[in-house]
Chains A and B, each alone.
Chain A
């Protein structure tokens, strides 16, 4: 995903380097806009992701107040944001969680892939996109938003519900599958020949497998080695390792996001506990920049033509996720009401869909991909939580 940065700096208005003052002023404005949007999201009780995307649309090229000088810093900040988002996602899971999740829900996981990735792939082909771009769209429609869903489950007091482990296991499953697919996509995006591509993809998957092996075998040892009582030293150590691993992963086409995710899984015990309490503020700032940056790369004028197909695909996405959740609940022996709850809970798409779309946008694989993904995620990040709450009210609670 380091390509994003390169592309941005190549296309950015860098003839004369912007003054430091200008960069700071624009960065300050961007962060203040994020703060305002975050407050608004809190007020109306929705996830902040869709509002950040809208903010990015307004600030980017063709937007209301196009911002330019800060471009480069925001691009780098966005990259850091992705890495931190995925690191903390990985930290939520221990290697045992992954193993148990895969063991108990693999059947539902297969349903999940088939029901949710295929419509995206088909949709891409129908729109006349290349197979690679369609594959990216499949990833976007497939992966639910762990961030939005985990927060909603906690807010709605559903942690104790019997269907909740089913939902969470499916999310784990999606993250693991994506960790294997992203490297393949990254290779395809480079435009390698079939033989080269197969070789590179094999190598990338080998690296991911090795990383999983390390995560399982050496988790405790790595965690102990990195630990420090000083918060400052712990933070420096963990951030240093994270960026290094993410960068190296990117260099071997595994994608920085996947590297960060696997590192997060590897860290466990005390280190994980402390990093989980130290890093979220950083993630929120840089993650916010990531969503804004994605929005900024999308010209709002390109939205109207893709709006209708995106919403149509979003409707399919609602139905397919509800069906997936219902089936997963049934497989796990959950009652009827719980199956519906599991279904509605899986609808929101968010950060990971944008991460996948970001890969494609950076590689310039399909001009419609950016606006399409923005519209799709906007629709489902807003509709998902509403459906989830409506599902509760239907039961008269």
Chain B
């Protein structure tokens, strides 16, 4: 799908696209973070038939519904950009592995060359957790590196 970016002076940016089924739609991202989903008239390609106004929270929830958080989308892009880069979300097990242990205890970095770049716990995220960060059961751990290293790191994390 091709997406066109159009600046809307004093308001923000609009992204236009046509779906495979031929429907034209757009998303206006306002400077204050609210987003409008716009559906265009099939008869008059310039006019909005209707607009759905979304708060930042609404937009995040809908992005989730539509498949993949915005983080995932960006990661996909990164994976695309760096050939051979593997990115894995690892969910910490109830017990075993590194659950209830510190990052430093696993020596992931030295043993595998992969990195733990972020941890999502409940509804907040810890970007770049330090060596003394302690994993808890259910943490979603983002591991990055080459494919072998990530597989090895996953094994260390989940035991």
Contacts and interface: CB of A to CB of B under 8 A. Distances in A.
A159 B27 CA distance: 10
Main secondary structure of the interface of A (DSSP, over half): helix
Contacts of B16: 162
B9 A100 contact: yes
A92 interface: yes
Interface in A254-298: 273
Given A160-B26, A160-B38, A160-B51, A168 B46 contact: no
A337 B32 CA distance: 30
Interface string B36-78: 1010100011111011000000000000000000000000000
Interface of B: 6-11, 14, 16, 26, 28, 31-32, 36, 38, 40, 44-48, 50-51
B51 A172 contact: no
B2 to A, nearest CB: 16
A97 B31 contact: no
Interface in A150-176: 150, 157-165, 168-169, 171-172
Nearest to A337: B44
A330 to B, nearest CB: 12
A305 interface: no
B10 A168 contact: yes
Contacts of B11: 159, 168
Contacts of A172: 9-10
A310 to B, nearest CB: 30
Nearest to B50: A157
Contacts of A338: 44, 46-47
Interface string A161-195: 11111001101100000000000000000000000
A100 B8 contact: no
A101 interface: yes
A390 to B, nearest CB: 15
Contacts of A160: 14, 26, 28, 36, 38, 40, 48, 51
A391 to B, nearest CB: 11
